[in-house]
Structure 1
Amino acid sequence: MIYTITLNPTIDRLLYLEEVLTKEKNNRLESVAYDLGGKGHHGSYAMSKLEVENQALGFCGTTNKRQLEKILEQKNINHDLVDVYGKPTRESYVIVEKGVSGSILITERGYEVSSYDKSLLVDKIEEKVKPEDTVLIAGSMPPGFEIKDLEQLITLLNKIGCFIACDLSGEALKAAVKAGVNFIKPNRFEILELANHGQSLLDTVKELTKTIDYVIVSQGGSGSLCGHGNEFYQISPPTIVVKNDTGAGDCFVGSFLASLTQKKSFVDSLTFATACSASKVQHIDSTSFSVKDAQNLQKKVIVEKV
């Protein structure tokens, strides 16, 4: 079983503009849609799409709980969330301009979680997670959830003995590396915070793989630099037309962990996850991708041993 933990979930409000966004002009909407937000939830969607058993854990505001649960149900995501009473789950605003590649993301900060809320999440984890499971902690931390809480969470998971994957940034990423995890996916900027002065990107990845099983550095449209044991690869995605890149990295993480669970090799897991991500960015929402399309795109992923 894979468990995803989304500490600061969001509901994506997708704003599709009639034209290109222009300052000092009335920018008219062509349509508005709602989709799933939060890195862990995006990961769960990819796993569910690939028919890998998983459950989404984390927090959920009660004032708009039905809206979030409706989206989770539509996406076929099994979930068991901790209610944060009297607070709304935050919204993210994804602006998609007509004829423009990519998207603009604006995100609310989120509600504050209490010590009681945090204790309920710990109780769920202690009850559910077994040594043979995988746990993905992904996304930002809400107000009230501090670095020491993250450290305690990772310590608990290490005590259980499960596989720990983290898609975090900033101080949270540093704390995860120090606490000991099995998987990280920093981007090309975040990896610099983990590098020694003057150290190259490849040398940084090699150093990190001494203590972390899987290190994947996202390089945007240029692909990713990946390390596992003594294997190091530069992965380049196929050339495609990008409609909405929101959630692409989360799709990669969910697909990669699903592939590992299915006992695929490191390279096969990387190329398939890259292909799933490439399929995702061709869709206009935050989560959708085509498994069939990904299987075809996987043949076009370039793998270079470094």
Structure 2
Amino acid sequence: MIYTITLNPAIDRLLYLEEKMESRKTNRIREIAYDIGGKGTHAAHVMSQLNVHHLALGFIGDVNNNKFKKILKAKHIKDDFTVVRGQATRECYIIIDRNTTGTTMLTEKGMTVSEEDKYAFIENLKAKVKQDDIVLIAGSLPINFTLNDLRKLIGVLKEAGCFIACDLSGEALKLAVEMAVDFIKPNEFELNELNSTKENTIDYLKNLNNNIQYIVASLGEKGSYCVHDRKVYRVLPPKVKEVNDTGAGDCFVGAFLSGLYKHLSIPETLKLASACAASKVMHHDSSTFSLEDALRMKELVKITEI
């Protein structure tokens, strides 16, 4: 089983404009659509498409619970979220116009979780996770969920003996590195923050690999490095027409962990993950990708061992 933990999920409200957005004018919306938001839920959607046994965990607010659950069902995501009473799952507003390839995103901070909410979530997690499971913690932290709470969460997973993957940023990522989790996926900026001594990137990744089994250093459209067993793989994705790169990294993580779960080789896992991410950037929303296109593009991914 793979568990995804999205502590601060979102409902993405996609606003499609009739024309290019401009200030000081009325920008008319021609269509509104909804999508799932939050790194862990994006990864869970990939797992559902790849027929990997998964369960999405985290916090959701009861105020807009029905709306959130409806999107989960449409995305075929199985879940057991901890419901926070009197709170609403945050919404993100994604503005898309016809004349640009990029998007504009406005995000709410998210709900406030109480000590009781955190206790209920941890107890639910303890009852579920076993040694053979993979657990992904991904995305931002909700209000009142501190780094000490994150430390406790990772500690609980360490006690369970499961595989711990973290797609986090800032101080949360530094904590994941300190606690020697099994997988991280920093981007270029995050990698520079971690590498405080400005050591050569490849050497730094190899040294980091002494404590962390799998490291994927994302380079955006330039691909990625993957380090495992002190072997460094350079990954070059296929060239595609980019529409929206939001969620591409989450798509990569979901497919990568699915590959590990299915015991694929590292090169095959990287090909699958890179192809899924490449398909994702061709779509407007944050989670959609075409598995058919990904399987077709998989063989276009170039992998060399450095």
- TM-score clears 0.5: yes
Corresponding position of 1:67? 67
Distance 1:95 1:244 in 2: 11
The equivalent of 1:169 in structure 2 is 169
Distance 1:198 1:160 in 2: 35
- Counterpart contact for 1:196–1:204, Cα < 8 Å: no
CA distance in 1, matches of 2:79, 2:257: 18
2:6 corresponds in structure 1 to 6
**What is the CA–CA distance in structure 1 between the aligned matches of 2:173 and 2:93, rounded to whole Å?**
25
Residue equivalent to 1:155? 155
Q: Is the 8 A contact 1:93 1:106 kept in 2?
A: yes
Q: Deviations for 1:74-106, whole angstroms, at most 9, x for unmatched residues?
A: 111110011110111000111222132232222
Deviation of the 1:229 alpha carbon: 1.1
Q: Is the 8 A contact 2:17 2:29 kept in 1?
A: yes
Per the alignment, residue 227 of structure 2 pairs with: 227
- Aligned position for 2:44: 44
Equivalent runs, 1:111-260 vs 2, <5 Å: 111-260=111-260
Distance 1:116 1:240 in 2: 46
Question: Residue by residue, what CA displacement relative to the aligned partner does 1:232-263 show, whole Å, maximum 9, x if unpaired?
Answer: 11211111111222211111100110011011
Corresponding residue of 1:295:
295
Give the % identical residues: 48
Q: Please tell me whether the aligned partners of residues 112 and 142 of structure 1 are also in contact (alpha carbons under 8 angstroms).
A: yes
Q: Which residue of 2 aligns with 1:278?
A: 278
What runs of 5+ residues in structure 1 fail to find an aligned partner?
Answer: none
Alignment-mate amino acid for residue 84 of structure 1: V
Deviation at 1:44? 0.5
Instruction: Judge conservation of contact 2:62–2:85 (CA < 8 Å) in 1.
Output: yes
Query: Relative to structure 1, is the Cα distance of residues 203 and 105 closer, same or farther in structure 2, using a 3 angstrom cutoff?
Result: farther
**SS at 1:232's partner residue?**
strand
Total equivalences in the alignment: 306
Q: One-letter code of the match for 2:171?
A: E
CA distance in 2, matches of 1:268, 1:102: 30
CA distance in 2, matches of 1:189, 1:258: 26
Measured in 2, the distance between the counterparts of 1:139 and 1:97 equals 26
Query: Structure 2 CA distance, aligned partners of 1:52 and 1:249?
Result: 18
* Alpha-carbon distance in structure 1 between the residues aligned to 2:198 and 2:166: 25
TM-score by length of 1: 0.97
Q: Could you tell me how far apart the structure 2 residues matched to 1:173 and 1:64 are?
A: 30
CA distance in 1, matches of 2:211, 2:179: 11
Q: How has the CA–CA distance of structure 1 residues 19 and 234 changed in structure 2, closer, same or farther, with 3 Å as cutoff?
A: farther
Q: How far has the Cα of 1:25 moved from its partner? A: 2.7
Alpha-carbon contact 1:43-1:254 (below 8 Å) kept = yes
The Cα shift of 1:125 comes to 0.8
**Cα-to-partner distance string for 1:152-190 (whole Å, 9 max, x where unaligned):** 110110111000000000000001111120000011001
Deviation at 1:138, TM superposition (A): 0.2
For 2:175 and 2:14, the matched residues in 1 are separated by 33
Q: In 2, distance between residues paired with 1:160 and 1:104?
A: 41
Report the TM-score, using the length of structure 2 for normalisation: 0.97
Task: Judge conservation of contact 2:192–2:198 (CA < 8 Å) in 1.
Answer: no
Partners of 1:285 and 1:60 in 2: CA distance: 21
Q: Which runs of 4+ in 1 moved over 6 A?
A: none
Q: Which residue of 2 aligns with 1:105?
A: 105
Shift of 1:30: 2.3
- Measured in 1, the distance between the counterparts of 2:194 and 2:116 equals 33
CA distance in 2, matches of 1:59, 1:276: 27
Distance 1:84 1:157 in 2: 22
**How far 1:198 sits from its partner (Å)?**
2.5
* 2:239 maps to amino acid: T
1:20 and 2:16 correspond: no
Q: 1:291 offset after TM fit, Å?
A: 1.3
What letter is aligned with 1:142? P
CA contact (8 A) 1:103 1:245 kept: no
Amino acid at match of 1:17: L
Equivalence for 1:30: 30
Q: Give the aligned CA root-mean-square deviation in angstroms.
A: 1.1
The one-letter code sitting in structure 2 at the alignment partner of 1:130 is K
Between 127-136 and 190-199, report the one with greater CA deviation.
190-199
Conservation of the 8 A alpha-carbon contact between 1:96 and 1:244: no
